Structure 1
Amino acid sequence: MKQTYGKTEKLKSKITIDKLFAEGKTVSAYPLRLVYIKTNFEDNVSLKTGVSVSKRNFKLAVDRNRIKRLLREAYRLNKNEHLAAVSGPYAFMIMYSNKDMPSYEFIEKKMITLFQKFIKAEAENL
């Protein structure tokens, strides 16, 4: 599996996002929160992921965009080794909810913890 985060893997559908927040389950590794739902996609992709940073915590768009770039990069580099065992297609939304500007190392460490909690939660649901 390639370490990419291409156009087909990005969560863009408003219908899916609304369903995700209405019916989705949550896993947290503060300051990251993962909202996920098992769903079907038309383009045969196993994971679709979006990232979000609160405008309330970061007023400047450059700060929000930097954090989103860090989140996407940590997701891209760690999804293969941690999410390879996931069965079925999932929609993910990863949210950052702290007021401090993070470093990449911090985000990556929390992303790995978040993936481990997600795998554990899904193993319990099966």
Structure 2
Amino acid sequence: MRLTYPKNEKLKSKTLIDDLFTQGKSVSAYPLRLVYLSTSFKDNVKAKTGVSVSKRNFKTAVARNRIKRLMREAYRLNKPNIFNNLTTPHAFMILYIGKDKPDYALIDKKMKQLFDKFSNKNEA
């Protein structure tokens, strides 16, 4: 598995995002929260993922974009751990719900915990 995050793996469909937040389930590893939904895609990908940071907690776009960049990088590097256990296609939205600016080490550690919780919940 290549450690990339190509365009076809990005969650961009408005209807799919709406379905994700209405029908999806979630797991948390503070300051991250993962909302997921088992679905199917026209293009043959295992998962589509989006990241989001609240404008309420981070007023400047610079701060929001930095956190989103850190989250995408942690996701990209941990992708093999996630996809090796994934059997059905899923839509993911990773939300940053903390109030302070994180560093990469914290985001990476919490991303691993988040997807461990997700895989444990899906096995049960």
Q: Provide the TM-score with structure 2 as the length reference.
A: 0.98
Q: Report the identity percentage.
A: 63
Equivalent positions of 1:17-28 (< 5 A) are 17-28=17-28
**Unaligned stretches of 5+ residues in structure 2:** none
Instruction: Name the CA distance, whole Å, in 2 between partners of 1:6 and 1:84.
Output: 18
Structure 1 position 83, deviation (Å) = 3.0
- SS of residue paired to 1:106: helix
**C-alpha contact (below 8 Å) 2:46/2:83 kept by paired residues:** no
Structure 1 position 79, deviation (Å) = 1.2
Deviations 1:16-45 (A, max 9, x none): 000000000000001100000000000011
Alignment match, 2:33: 33
**C-alpha contact (below 8 Å) 1:47/1:91 kept by paired residues:** yes
Matched, 1:55 2:55: yes
Count of aligned pairs between the two proteins: 124
Deviations 1:32-70 (A, max 9, x none): 000000000000110100000000000000000000000
Equivalent positions of 1:1-126 (< 5 A) are 1-124=1-124
Structure 1 position 81, deviation (Å) = 2.2
Which residue identity lines up with residue 113 of structure 2 in the other structure?
T
Instruction: Name the CA distance, whole Å, in 2 between partners of 1:106 and 1:83.
Output: 22
The runs of at least 4 aligned residues of structure 1 exceeding 2 Å deviation read none
**Unaligned stretches of 5+ residues in structure 1:** none
Q: Provide the TM-score with structure 1 as the length reference.
A: 0.97
